[in-house]
Amino acid sequence: MKDSKMENNIDMAINKEAHIYKAKRKVGSGWIMGFPLIIDNEWYIRSENDFRNYKIDVKTLCRCTVKRNVKNELIFEHDYIESMGTSLVMEICYGEYQAYCPVDDIWLPIIGFYAKAENYKDMPIGDLPEYALRLYNRFDKKGEENENSEQF
């Protein structure tokens, strides 16, 4: 009985994370995480921590992948990750990409999160806790969110 209650709590947390976004604040600095909304033609995020609405720069709005990296950090659209095994740096993207189906020996259009790397075909992101370290986000300034970044 206890295990099924714990599984329900995990499912609820994952469902919540599927609706979380992050964006840069218009007033103040840094990222705000929560749920996007529009009030009087202005974009806001309602913070998941204090339930206040924060004005955001909508160009920086990033979807949550519902996946975590090796440090248990949530991964968002436009985050750059590094494969711990190969040192390959990839950007997490959302949209349509081509995925290979070995059963039918064809490439199929898929909509969802994928990783993009220089000189590689777009690829599904897979199980990130197994291999990925989050470096930074496309919209970060030098040294802003994660000291692991060497890309700036």
Following CA atoms 34, 60, 140, 35 in sequence, which dihedral angle do they give, to the nearest 10 degrees? 0
User: What pLDDT, in 10s, does the model give residues 119-138?
Assistant: 999 999 888 888 899 999 99
User: What pLDDT, in 10s, does the model give residues 29-87?
Assistant: 899 999 999 999 999 999 988 889 999 999 999 999 999 999 999 999 999 999 999 99
Distance CA 151, CA 147 (A): 11
State the pTM of this model. Answer: 0.80
